Amino acid sequence: MKNRVTGIGGLFFKSKDTKATKEWYKNHLGFNTDDWGCTFWWKDENGKKCTTQWSPFDNETKYFEPSKKDFMFNYRVENLVELLAELKKEGVTIVGEIEEYDYGKFGWILDNEGNKIELWEPVDQAFSE
């Protein structure tokens, strides 16, 4: 496998008040927030439009489990199915099953310290000009 991770797809963290947190980032740092947080648009080396998502989650979310951390990173990958198969062979813990949406496929693993990591194979061409 050539590239495993191609970039950061998202930064997710727990928040006591997601609405206030989004407002603070909007007012003080200029984030263009919506219900999900903020989407940052950029172009890759081939000129394709890509996104990175910033999202505060409710403090009580179970989405980061089994990790005990208050954050989760999402990494962009090129071939999720192949990557998860390779990681499984290497003894990496796979969490749950692949989920597929119109904007990409998602899979989850645990790192060496038990942090849940989300792997995302995006459908960037859906956002191309």
Cα–Cα distance for residue pair 17/24, rounded to 1 Å:
11
Tell me the residue length of the chain: 129
Reading the block at residue 113, the tokens are 């310290």
pLDDT for position 128: 43
Protein fold of 5-127: 2,3-Dihydroxybiphenyl 1,2-Dioxygenase; domain 1 (3.10.180)
Cα–Cα distance for residue pair 97/84, rounded to 1 Å:
10
The three state secondary structure string of 71-113 is EEEEEEECCHHHHHHHHHHCCCCEEEEEEEECCEEEEEEECCC
Q: Where along the chain do its domains lie? A: 5-127
DSSP string, 13-30: EEES-HHHHHHHHHHHH-
Arithmetic mean of pLDDT over the chain? 92
pTM, entire model: 0.88
Q: pLDDT tens string for the chain (129 positions)? A: 677 998 999 999 999 999 999 999 999 999 999 999 999 999 888 888 889 999 999 999 999 999 999 999 999 999 999 999 999 999 999 999 999 999 999 999 999 999 999 999 998 754 444
Give Cβ neighbours of residue 37 (< 8 Å, ≥ 6 apart).
22, 31, 53, 54, 55, 56
pLDDT for position 3: 77
